Structure 1
């Protein structure tokens, strides 16, 4: 579907047998030999918990972050695909944005990296082309371990580059990267989809499998800035819609987050969830029907 854009998170991987996020966290602790020193507490935001684990290991055992992220890359690459990954691909979306590091959505390790520049650390332009679909790994990928975004410092650097791209313009040496800000380019009708960020201001986006916890500071900033442009500054037209899908059983406990999403011009769609598989299949069918209506 030539105009379809999806933002897909890690929860779809929970349908696969094997590594869970909890398992990965324990593997990180074991790799760093920090299991008896670090207290895992849900009150610790994960990016700061990662910093605690890494800094403790770095001080005591001289562990390099490159080695830790390489270990994480190997572990996440072990995640296996499941029928939902295939169902998503069957939509033939134009773009899939994902916070996942592995390539289960692609159905295999992609051959063609089509990014306009090579990014070793951050992920403003990180993209792969597989068939009709462009895949954007916005938090890094397991082929490039240092790009894997886990820690608070990494989130901060990513957000800095995102804001430059949208608001003030970029400073990359490559001639292929537009220097003018996204706002200016939208104003002058020069949007070429060099970055996944472009899509948030121009294309309808369906978000699912993503908890959108507040530690995702990059995405929350982007949603907030987009909403401010639309309702307050009104410097550019923002005609697109953003949809966030959530199981009905989580609506009550997530009401505070859903209120914030609504304030930021995100349409919340709650669906029954008798099983995780049926829940995601229902999302995919709704999206398919919506896109067919637009054809």
Structure 2
């Protein structure tokens, strides 16, 4: 049985022709009819920039967030797949986690949500199963526009539920959701993959195509908490490995991030990255040869 687990970000989509992230931001601002009211500045963390865009639109036009996220979902769904998406599926991993909202990794829009519960907003259990692969959309998906995780408030709510799931236990009404915390269940050797979060403490994970900017507070918290369990609290055994792939050309400029990843027990793998397509082919080939 293939036990491969991948966490994949948006950069693999940049191989496909289409609009850039900056183009999407301009489209969002145009949709909100806020013109020059919001300045795009790289110094603004995106979750806060999203809040600025949305709150400005509310004050000017009483725009509902549901309308804005529906527009973003339509734009996300326009992203086209490429040969890297196909190559990833050919690895036949057991689990693919992704921060992407669209279904290019699946190759088509799924017919059925196979999550433990049907989440409208947050994404602790958001899963689609296709061709024996579990796809976990950890930041929402475009079939459920309100689940798309963009703003600071949404990140805060997601992190709150994640910490409950891992540390203190859950309060969902569904009997299918385990009430005991993940820590208690691991200690009792009762881990079933109800959530993508379970994998971070139990399976090797290969991360690529994901910049892991520090605005990804949910993922950085998870990495930090896992490392604290392994080296400090030691309430549960943590034996799995996490690998983060980065173009070797970025290593010097990204030393600050590489140092933080290493401190959090993440193994950094650098590969030649000048040719983006070749870079991702190399990653897929390397992972395929180790599983």
Partner of 2:95: 95
Moved over 2 A (4+): none
1:137 aligns with 2:121: no
The farther-off stretch of 15-24 and 63-72 is: 15-24
Describe how 1:110-149 pairs up with structure 2 within 5 A: 110-149=110-149
- Residue by residue, what CA displacement relative to the aligned partner does 1:127-161 show, whole Å, maximum 9, x if unpaired? 00011100000000000000000000000000000
- Within a 5 Å distance, the mapping from 1:1-295 to structure 2 comes to 2-291=2-291
Looking at structure 1, the residues matched to 132 and 256 of structure 2 have their Cα atoms a distance apart, in angstroms, of: 37
SS at match of 1:112: coil
The DSSP-based 3-state class of the residue aligned with 1:19 is coil
Deviations 1:57-100 (A, max 9, x none): 00110000000000000000000000000000000000000000
Give the drift of 1:106. Answer: 0.1
Cα contact 2:34–2:60 (8 A) shared by 1: no
Comparing 28-37 with 263-272, greater Cα deviation is found at: 28-37
Distance (whole Å) between structure 2 residues aligned to residue 88 and residue 253 of structure 1: 28
Root-mean-square deviation (CA, aligned residues, Å) is 0.6
TM (normalized to structure 2)?
A: 0.99
Structure 2 Cα separation of the partners of residues 132 and 275 of structure 1: 31
Q: Distance in 1 between matches of 2:23 and 2:230?
A: 41
How many residues end up aligned between the 2 structures? 291
Deviations 1:200-233 (A, max 9, x none): 0000000000000000000000000000000000
Gaps of 5+ in 2: none
Secondary structure of 1:29 counterpart: helix
TM-score, normalised to structure 1, is 0.98
Whole-Å separation in 2 of the counterparts to 1:214 and 1:200? 18
1:112 Cα deviation (Å)?
2.1
Cα distance, 1:274 vs structure 2: 3.1
8 Å CA contact 2:139, 2:149 repeated in 1 = yes
Deviation at 1:162, TM superposition (A): 0.1
User: What is the distance in 2 between the residues matched to 1:49 and 1:273?
Assistant: 29
Q: Is the 8 A contact 1:19 1:78 kept in 2?
A: no
Question: Unmatched 5+ residue regions in structure 1?
Answer: none
What is the CA distance between 1:33 and its match in structure 2?
Answer: 1.2
CA contact (8 A) 1:112 1:130 kept: no
Equivalents in 2 of 1:273, 1:11: separation in Å? 12
CA displacement 1:4-52 (0-9 Å, x = unmatched): 0000000000001112211111110100112311111111000000000
Q: Secondary structure at the match of 1:36?
A: helix
